[in-house]
Chains A and B, each alone.
Chain A
Amino acid sequence: MEPVIEIRNLHAEYRAGREKTIALKGITLSAYKGEIFGFIGPNGAGKTTTINILLGFMYPTNGNAVIFGEKSSSLKNRFRIGYLPEIAYYYPFLTPFKILTMYGKLFRIDKAILNNRIDSVLATVGLTEKKNTPVRNLSKGMSQRLGLAQAIINDPEVLILDEPNSGLDPIGKREMRDIILGLKNKGKTIFFSSHQLSEVELICDRVGIIDRGQILKTEKLDQIVGKIHTKQTVLEDIFIRMIKDKRT
C-alpha cells in the first residue's frame, strides 16, 4: 500500500526560558491511503505535538514529516488536508455558515460550489438547523461538529483529527464515529489521535501507540487486541439505545 503520511525520526522539544522539555524522541510511523490510523497514547505522550508538526504549527528539532511525498505543511498539501483541533474554538461572533464561508474561500472554492458544499457538510455533521446561530450560542458538542464541518469543507484526501471525541456525549461520539467511517468509505485517509481506546478499537485499521515521546508499537488493530468488540462498547450500545428509545 502507498504511504500517505510518513514521519521519520521526528524529534521535538519545548522551551520555557532555560527549561527544556523533550516532547518527541525520534518517532517514525506511516499511515497508508484509505486507512484510519489510530494514534493513541496517554495525555502528554506527544500526540498533539506530532500533529502540530504535521501541520506546520511547530518545527521539529530533527527528522521530518511528509504527506503525499512532500513537506507535510506545504501550502500545496494544505489544500488536500482537513484538520480538526483537539479543542475546537471558532470566532464566537460568526455563524457556522460564515465560518465555513471564510474557510472555504481560503481554499479558493468557487462561491456557487461553496454554498452547496456548506449545506452538504452541515447536513453531514447535523448542524443544518444551527447554520445561522452565532458560535457563542452553540454547545460544546455542536462546536466539535462545526470543527469537523470545517475540516471537511475542502473535501480533503487526508483528515487529521486530534481527539475528535473530546467533549462529546455518547450519542455525539456515536455520530462522530459514523461520520468518520463514512469518510473512510469515501476513500479518505484518516489520522486519528485519541486516548479513548474504546473509540479507537471500533474504527481504526491500524494503531500507533506513543508514550513519553516514543512509539511503542505500530500494528494492525486486530493483531493488537485480537477482537473488535469489548464489554465497554456493548454497554455503550445499550446506553445509546436506551436514550434514543426514551427520546423517541
Chain B
Amino acid sequence: MRAAWIIAKNVIEESIRKKEIYVLFILSVAMMSVVAMASFFSLTGLIKYFTELSFLIITYITVIIAVVVGARQVPTELNSRTIYPLMAKPLKRSEFIIGKWLGTSLISIFCFLVFEGIFIVLLFSKGSGISCILIQGIFLHILQIMLISSIVICLSTFMTNAANATVSILYFILGYWIGKAISDALDNCGAFLAWILRSINYILPHLDYFDLSKKIVHQWQPVPAWVIITVMIYAVVYISIFLLIGTLKFQRKQL
C-alpha cells in the first residue's frame, strides 16, 4: 500500500499544478457568493434557497473535478510514456490503480471540504449553524466522490479521456434518477424487459443513496446510524468492484 500512496501523492501534486481545478474553484466560489448575496434582501426561506443551491453547485463541481482529474490518469501516463520507467519499478499494477484512485479521491475530497468550509462560513454569516444532518450529508458526499472516482479510474483503463469524462458525467446525472426511472418503467413493461431493468437496477450503483441535500435543506432530524453504515458498506462494495475491474483490465493491458 505504500507504493499506492506514492502514486496518489503524485496525482495530487500533478493536479495542484494544473489550472482546471483553480478555474472550477473560482467558478464555484463566485456562484456561491452570488447565491449568498441574494439573502441581503432578507427574504423568507433564503437560507433554504442558499443551502439548496450551494449544495447543488458543490456537488456538481466536485464531481467534475473528480472526473477531470481521474479520466486522464491512465491515458495520459500511456500517451506521455511516463508509465514505462514507473512500471519497471517494484510497483504492482493493482497498486498503480489504487494509487490513482486514492489520489483522485483525495484531491476531490480536499476541494469539496474547502467548498463546504466556505459554505459553512456563509451559513454562519446568515445566522444559521451546522446541523447533524449536514455533517451526515458531507460524509455521504465524500463516499460518493470516492465511488465516482473509482468508476472514472476503472473506465480510464480502457477509455480515452474524453469518452470517459462523457460517460462518467452522464452516469452521475442519470445515477440520481435511475432507481426512480426504473421503478416507474417496471409498471408498463413486459416480463423480459422487466427482468433486464431489474438487473440494471441491482447492478448499477444508486447515487441517490448518498444524497441528503433535501433533508439538509428542510432541516430534518439526523438519519439513523445504521442507514449511514449500510450506505458506507454499499459504497465500499461498489468501490472495491470498480477497482477490481479496473485492475483486471489494466493487468491484461499491453503497455
**Interface set of A (CB-CB < 8 Å, partner B):** 14, 52, 55-59, 75, 78-79, 81, 83-85, 87-91, 93-94, 102-103, 105-108, 147, 150-151, 160
Nearest A residue to B88 by beta-carbon distance?
A: A83
Which one, B6, B80, B82, B254, contacts A59 given CB within 8 A?
B254
Task: Determine whether the beta carbon of A85 is less than 8 Å from that of B84.
Answer: yes
What are 15 contact pairs spanning A and B, CB under 8 A?
A52-B255, A58-B255, A75-B90, A75-B92, A78-B89, A78-B91, A85-B84, A88-B85, A89-B81, A89-B82, A102-B9, A102-B10, A105-B2, A150-B85, A151-B85
A55-B88, A90-B82, A160-B88 known, 11 other contacts, Cβ within 8 Å: A56-B87, A57-B255, A58-B255, A79-B90, A81-B88, A85-B81, A103-B85, A103-B89, A106-B89, A107-B89, A150-B85
What's the minimum C-beta distance from A81 to chain B, rounded to whole angstroms? 7
Which one, B3, B13, B82, B84, contacts A106 given CB within 8 A?
B3
Task: Determine whether the beta carbon of A106 is less than 8 Å from that of B6.
Answer: yes
A81 to B88, CA, bound (A): 8
Nearest B residue to A55 by beta-carbon distance?
A: B88
Chain B positions within 8 Å of A108 at CB level: 2, 90
Task: Determine whether the beta carbon of B13 is less than 8 Å from that of A55.
Answer: no
Chain B positions within 8 Å of A55 at CB level: 87-88
Chain B positions within 8 Å of A147 at CB level: 85
Q: Does B20 contact A (CB under 8 A)?
A: no
A56 to B90, CA, bound (A): 11
Q: Does B19 contact A (CB under 8 A)?
A: no
A33 to B200, CA, bound (A): 57
Task: Determine whether the beta carbon of B14 is less than 8 Å from that of A93.
Answer: yes
Task: Determine whether the beta carbon of B14 is less than 8 Å from that of A85.
Answer: no
What's the minimum C-beta distance from B82 to chain A, rounded to whole angstroms? 5
Task: Determine whether the beta carbon of B90 is less than 8 Å from that of A91.
Answer: no
Task: Determine whether the beta carbon of A106 is less than 8 Å from that of B90.
Answer: yes
A78 with B90, Cβ < 8 A, contacts A57-B254, A91-B10 known? yes
Which one, A56, A59, A79, A85, contacts B85 given CB within 8 A?
A85
Chain B 1-26 near chain A by CB (<8 Å), digits 1 or 0: 01100100110011001000000000
What's the minimum C-beta distance from B1 to chain A, rounded to whole angstroms? 12
Task: Determine whether the beta carbon of A93 is less than 8 Å from that of B13.
Answer: yes
The 7 closest A-B pairs by CB, nearest first: A83-B88, A57-B255, A106-B89, A78-B90, A89-B81, A85-B84, A93-B17
From A52, A87, A103, A106, name the one whose CB has the most chain B CB atoms within 10 angstroms. A106
Task: Determine whether the beta carbon of B254 is less than 8 Å from that of A106.
Answer: no
